[in-house]
Chain A
Amino acid sequence: MQPGLYHILFISGALFFTGVYGFLTRRNLITMLMSIELILNSVNLNFVAFNKYVWPGKMDGLFFTLFIIAIAAAEAAVAIAIIINLYRSHKSIDVENAEDLKY
């Protein structure tokens, strides 16, 4: 069967819910961040697939993907700065140990 839009939608949907599963089951902040990266990537894949198969003459999906990649990079950097700061004050990056916002 020729791969098309539905195949890519299946992949991106499966990847999205894999990320959601990881986000629900993991209790370590870095692995939760990895799950978020998987979710963002599945959304990017969706945008690119719709741009390719439904509006091939336009470029809006491509630009949304580029901007999401830029925002994801900024978000990952800020999240890791917060995680390292949390590790300094709590000596752990488990969410169960980070119960107080103020240290």
Chain B
Amino acid sequence: MTGSDIIFYILAGLTLGCGVLSVTTRQIFRAAIFLLFSLIGIAGIYFWLDYQFIAAVQIVVYAGGIVVLIIFSIFLTQQAGEKLPKQRLDRKIFSALAVFSAFALAMVQVYQHSFTAPAGEQPVPTVKDIGLKMLNTENGGYALPFEIISMLLLAALVGCIVIALREKL
């Protein structure tokens, strides 16, 4: 058991523990903070896998953007200190049962399949490789999806403003 393995298990425990707490706690603000730690744990796993760029994007977009957005919307829509109403027990039990059996089925399928890794050491893609491929217009390049994503973001931006606009009475 090396230090790298220990770091991986700590990150895995952080991600899963905070994820479970985030969907089970009855205080909505705590749920948002647990979600934040779960997302940071995933960013740590990306760092552990040597994909620094994805980890940075994960921290900037999720921890810096989406969680802040969620916390602001909690402040706008919830009364302070109020707990979420208790859920019916039968709904919880049946959801947990369904989810656990689906998880067991998926894991049995995964562990029966053997993935073949290619032989030899492969280079880890750097930020330069990602940037060159992102704007490459030749075969295998990602210039067109990149442009479509930028159009989608623009449409989402305009749509958010239109939806949240207060109507004049």
Are A and B interaction partners? yes
On A, residues with C-beta under 8 Å from B are 1-3, 5-11, 13-15, 17-22, 24-28, 30-31, 33-35, 37-38, 41, 44-45, 48-49, 52-57, 59, 62-63, 65-67, 69-78, 80-85, 87-88, 93-94
By secondary structure, the A interface counts as helix
Contact of A54 among B54, B117, B152 (CB under 8 A): B117
On B, residues with C-beta under 8 Å from A are 5, 8-9, 12, 15-16, 19-20, 22-24, 28, 31-32, 35, 38-39, 42, 45-46, 49-51, 53-54, 57-58, 61-62, 65-66, 69-70, 73-74, 76-78, 84-85, 87, 91-92, 95-96, 98-100, 102-103, 106-107, 110-111, 115-118, 122-125, 129-130, 133-134, 142, 145, 149, 152-153, 156-157, 159-161, 163-164, 166
Contact of B8 among A7, A9, A56, A57 (CB under 8 A): A7
Q: How many A-B residue pairs have CB under 8 A?
A: 201
By secondary structure, the B interface counts as helix
Contacts of A31 in B (CB 8 A): 23, 28, 31, 84
Contacts of B115 in A (CB 8 A): 5, 53-54
Q: How far is the CA of A91 from the CA of B5 in the complex (A)?
A: 49
Q: Could you tell me if A21 and B149 are in contact, using CB atoms closer than 8 angstroms?
A: no
Could you list 5 examples of A-B contacts with CB < 8 Å? A1-B5, A11-B15, A13-B106, A15-B15, A48-B49
Contacts of B145 in A (CB 8 A): 63, 67
Q: If the complex has contacts A38-B38, A65-B54, are A20 and B66 also in contact, measured as CB distance less than 8 A?
A: no
